[in-house]
Amino acid sequence: GDKAFAQFLTDEIKEEKKIQKHKSLPKVSGGWELEVHGTEAKLVRKIAGEKITVTFNINNSIPPSADDEPQEEQKPDEQEPELTSTPNFVVEVIKDDTKQTLVLDCHYPEDEVGHEGEEESDIFTIREVSFQPTGESDWKDTNYTLNTDSLDW
């Protein structure tokens, strides 16, 4: 079973590389530095005495198609619809000379994804707001965290 599964994954990766549109990552403008480690990316920018970091992982970031049934009217030479990656992401804001980091845990609500052409709405939502010690990689449950479900926007 392990060999069959490994072969399946290898074949899937080959197929994905065949249909890959861009062979390299796009250039990031606006003074952001990009770090990539496998499927995780980190954007970092220093501005006005603050360091802003946006971290996201593209694994499982393409929402399921609302229309899973194949369309019989679609001609074989028609292109498939554009896939859009909507990963959860974390924004960290660190002011110079502080020991606390403002952390915003964000995600794309499923009901907002893929509604192109409709009236504009919030693209993403903030799930949690937290203050964490600067420099600590793991979130601590003992630090102040607010679930935003109860906030009046």
Q: Are 44 and 94 in contact (CB under 8 A)?
A: no
Structural domains in the chain, sorted by start: 28-62+83-112+119-152 (3.10.280.10)
Q: Which of 15-24, 42-51, 75-84 has the lowest mean pLDDT?
A: 75-84
pLDDT value at 99 more than 60? yes
Q: Are 82 and 116 in contact (CB under 8 A)?
A: no
91-106 CB burial, b ≥16 within 10 A, e <16: bbebeeeeeebbbbbb
pLDDT value at 89 more than 50? yes
Q: Is 134 exposed, middle or buried (0-12, 13-18, 19+ CB in 10 A)?
A: middle
CA 81 to chain CA centroid, nearest Å: 20
CA 19 to chain CA centroid, nearest Å: 21
Q: Is 101 helix (H, G, I), strand (E, B) or coil?
A: strand
- Residue 8's pLDDT is 93
Q: Which of 1-5, 88-92, 108-112 has the lowest mean pLDDT?
A: 108-112
Using CA atoms, how far apart are residues 68 and 85, in angstroms rounded to an integer?
17
Using CA atoms, how far apart are residues 4 and 16, in angstroms rounded to an integer?
18
- For the chain, percent of residues with pLDDT exceeding 70: 76
User: pTM of the entire structure?
Assistant: 0.69
Q: Is 148 exposed, middle or buried (0-12, 13-18, 19+ CB in 10 A)?
A: middle
